[in-house]
Structure 1
Amino acid sequence: MAFECQRNSYKCEFDSKVLSCKISDNKPGLYRIVFDDTILFPEGGGQPEDLGCLNDSISVLHVEREGDVAVHYTKVPLEEGEHVHMRVNWERRWDHMQQHSGQHLITAVIERKTGYKTISWCLGVGLDNKCFIELDSNKMSLQQLQDAEEECNKLIIQSRAVNVRIIERDSEEFNLVRSRGLPSGSVGPIRVVDMQGVDVNMCCGTHVSNLSHLQCIKLLHMEQKGTSSTLVHFVVGGRVCHQLGRMHANERSLSKLLSCGPEEYGRQIEKISKNQRADAKQNKIYLREIAELTVKNHLSSPCAVESYFVLHRDDADHEFMSVICNMLLPHKILILLTGGGRKGQGIFLLSGKDDKLVSELGPQISAMLEGKGGGRGSRYQGKVQKIELYKVAFEFVKNHLCTQ
């Protein structure tokens, strides 16, 4: 077996010999290496692969399973027959062991207490991520979730042993082991993970040797998936500590920003949202009034240009532009309005009595400001990526009208 040492979940250093090394066909720039044995777990059974290094200098970037062979990928070639020293990225391995053994425990406890079976699971990579199991029912209650979490943590306190055994396919025990079915291509004896008095399950992954190593389990929340299954999200061990630290830091930051404690977050955020809605409503009223005054001032000015009107405001919205266009359109002038910050995204509106002129200039202005637009009749509008070029568009309108 090409990954015999995986029977020992705690082996993190190992000497091995290169059986083959060649350029990978499907992973450009990487070498495909097979050893006579390995301690690097190849991705499978829902658990991501181990990462590590060879001879303390060559990084193993991926490990995958081909039948009963573990294939390693590196950027550096090795000589066939060469002896190498393997080292596992232990922090990654330990995290995966905690989450995977935790999943076995959660699955066994929920099935025993509720009868709901786990039909799939996911181990999110990294301390910032969560794991989940998918149950074959959408009837799981919050009380059942709390009871399952309590039972899991009681078993952790009891320090139940976790043993890995190899059994034969034709043995009596094989038919008693919990399993979701063997993977295609599986051959030879079967590896089982035995949690003392809790669960015996077929599994190829790496696991802790005692439930006390899980430290604790937190079942976070449930999420219905369709009409027949439920996702139960969870974290185990080091991820509980990491996420609690992150949540506490976020809580302190929010308390400072909101000027209140966590128990007042809801009330304070609701108050802020209410004030924001009121301010937005008032701003719309002000913008409408500004639009009306802008047009009146323009029309009453002795210096007003009779053939076009251009205007940019950082805070201009579609309603502001529409008010100006509606008021100026009877005066048969070409109108170009732009809105948005001084740099980046924005909006524009081109309007006039001459539909042909609007349809001709609209796409050109849109391209000038690196945007997309459309329209028909007397209006052409759109969104742009370079609103800071609005002055170029204004000059374009002026020059076009002056040359006609």
Structure 2
Amino acid sequence: MAAERLYYTSAVLDFDTTIADIRLTKTDELGQLWQVALAETAFYPTGGGQPSDRGMLIAYAPSGASLEVPIEAVEEDEDGEVWHYVRKPLIEGTEVQGRVLASRRMDHEQQHSGQHLLSAVFLRELTLTTVSFHLGAESSTIDLDTKERPTEEQLHQVEEAANRVVAESRPIWSRFVEREYAEDMLRRGDLRKLPEREGPMRVVQIQGIEFNACGGTHVENTGAIGAISIRRLEKVKQGWRVEFCCGQRVVRAARKDYIALDAVARTLSVGAADVQARVEALLEEKKAQAKELKKLKALLPPSA
């Protein structure tokens, strides 16, 4: 049987379990790589635009000695089994402790919950539908189904509306429902789409905002998202791609932006608030100098 997924119903990051299966998958320059299945797991596998958790498995000997085995990746196979990739073989039936890397899990929860909220606000404010989501290492993206470029004013409108919901700390719940019930939700307009798979499915709800069929990890309320910052817009084949970040990533991005801006300001010997005006003045000077140079070249005699 496939492992029980603890993250569906619990925020637990440390858990006790048993090695249910292990198999050698490949040998590379780093050595052998093994796939380990657990009786239950709190490790989220890659899927739905969200990367997998990291962490370790810890096995204890009767003597009290411990063996720590880092987890390099977590993936789900076509049968729904969750496989944990490790570099050390473990014996089937061994009792182990699993420890999910808390900082990575929290970061992914903030980005994923922030994406749900941002997509819902784009739909509510501008009637723009999200067609895909990707959670990257530094920032994340959603692709909007629109040929027309959203204006800067519209992006600010969405960003401010989303952050108002963040400040309200609205609860975020998840529950499993039968497919028939989910189809009724779809017909009522509570859900925008359903996954193709059969059987019960998990629905994530942001109070008063949306319902969404989703198997990912999320924070418990919108306040835990921290903040949402829209970074830039890019034209892609299916519409317009919005790059954004949430939580601590907003803080890191703001710090990085300020360091870069401060360096430019010091180079130009102006305050940070005056950088744009100074750069525009320099560009105008460059244009004027280019025109003057063109006039002087016209006064030169033809070359022999």
Same fold (TM over 0.5): yes
Distance in 2 (alpha carbons) for counterparts of 1:9 and 1:119: 28
Change (3 A) 1:143 1:3: farther
Q: Aligned letter for 1:150? A: E
Cα-to-partner distance string for 1:314-371 (whole Å, 9 max, x where unaligned):
xxxxxxxxxxxxxxxxxxxxxxxxxxxxxxxxxxxxxxxxxxxxxxxxxxxxxxxxxx
Residue 151 of structure 2 is matched in structure 1 by 141
Change (3 A) 1:158 1:269: closer
Alignment of 1:165-314 (within 5 A): 165-171=175-181, 172-173=184-185, 175-176=187-188, 177-182=190-195, 186-226=197-237, 229-269=239-279, 271=282, 274=286
Contact 1:222 1:231 in 2 (8 A): yes
Residue 19 of structure 1 is matched in structure 2 by 20
Secondary structure of 1:222's counterpart equals strand
Q: Aligned letter for 1:69? A: E
Shift of residue 6, structure 1, vs aligned partner: 1.7
Structure 2 residue 140 is the aligned partner of structure 1 residue 131: yes
Residue 127 of structure 2 is matched in structure 1 by 115
Q: Aligned letter for 1:178? A: L
Count matched residues.
273
TM-score between both structures, scaled by the size of structure 2: 0.82
Distance in 1 (alpha carbons) for counterparts of 2:10 and 2:152: 34
Q: Aligned letter for 1:263? A: A
Residue 300 of structure 2 is matched in structure 1 by none
Distance in 2 (alpha carbons) for counterparts of 1:190 and 1:168: 6
Structure 2 residue 82 is the aligned partner of structure 1 residue 75: no
Contact 1:3 1:70 in 2 (8 A): no
Secondary structure of 2:233's counterpart equals strand
Change (3 A) 1:26 1:77: closer
Distance in 2 (alpha carbons) for counterparts of 1:212 and 1:180: 26
Residue 367 of structure 1 is matched in structure 2 by none
Identity score, percent:
31
Unpaired stretches in structure 2, ≥5 consecutive residues:
59-66, 294-304
Cα-to-partner distance string for 1:274-318 (whole Å, 9 max, x where unaligned):
49x98xx9xxxxxxxxxxxxxxxxxxxxxxxxxxxxxxxxxxxxx
Shift of residue 64, structure 1, vs aligned partner: 0.4
Secondary structure of 2:180's counterpart equals coil
**Greater strand content:** 2
Residue 32 of structure 1 is matched in structure 2 by 35
Distance in 1 (alpha carbons) for counterparts of 2:246 and 2:147: 23
Distance in 2 (alpha carbons) for counterparts of 1:106 and 1:3: 30
One of 145, 150, 157 as aligned partner of 2:167: 157
Secondary structure of 1:57's counterpart equals strand
Shift of residue 101, structure 1, vs aligned partner: 0.3
Contact 1:9 1:206 in 2 (8 A): no
Shift of residue 232, structure 1, vs aligned partner: 1.3
Contact 2:26 2:34 in 1 (8 A): no
Structure 2 residue 103 is the aligned partner of structure 1 residue 91: yes
Contact 2:70 2:86 in 1 (8 A): yes
Residue 69 of structure 2 is matched in structure 1 by 58
Shift of residue 3, structure 1, vs aligned partner: 4.0
Distance in 1 (alpha carbons) for counterparts of 2:193 and 2:199: 18
One of 113, 134, 139 as aligned partner of 1:101: 113
Shift of residue 32, structure 1, vs aligned partner: 0.8
Distance in 2 (alpha carbons) for counterparts of 1:31 and 1:9: 27
Contact 1:51 1:89 in 2 (8 A): yes
Distance in 2 (alpha carbons) for counterparts of 1:25 and 1:175: 46
Contact 1:63 1:72 in 2 (8 A): yes
Q: Give 1 or 2 for the bigger CA radius of gyration.
A: 1
Shift of residue 241, structure 1, vs aligned partner: 0.9
Q: Aligned letter for 2:247? A: G
Structure 2 residue 53 is the aligned partner of structure 1 residue 43: no
Contact 2:162 2:228 in 1 (8 A): yes
Distance in 2 (alpha carbons) for counterparts of 1:47 and 1:13: 21
Contact 2:26 2:32 in 1 (8 A): no
Change (3 A) 1:141 1:255: closer
Q: Aligned letter for 1:115? A: T
Contact 2:186 2:192 in 1 (8 A): no
Cα-to-partner distance string for 1:128-183 (whole Å, 9 max, x where unaligned):
x2211101003323222211111111111111100010001122346555354415
Secondary structure of 2:41's counterpart equals coil
CA RMSD of aligned residues (A): 2.5
Higher RCO (Cα < 8 Å, 6 or more apart): 2
Distance in 1 (alpha carbons) for counterparts of 2:276 and 2:159: 27
Q: Aligned letter for 2:233? A: M
TM-score between both structures, scaled by the size of structure 1: 0.63
Cα-to-partner distance string for 1:355-397 (whole Å, 9 max, x where unaligned):
xxxxxxxxxxxxxxxxxxxxxxxxxxxxxxxxxxxxxxxxxxx
Shift of residue 107, structure 1, vs aligned partner: 0.6
Secondary structure of 2:235's counterpart equals strand
Distance in 2 (alpha carbons) for counterparts of 1:196 and 1:83: 39
Residue 323 of structure 1 is matched in structure 2 by none
Shift of residue 246, structure 1, vs aligned partner: 1.5
Secondary structure of 1:101's counterpart equals helix
Secondary structure of 1:192's counterpart equals strand
Unpaired stretches in structure 1, ≥5 consecutive residues:
282-404
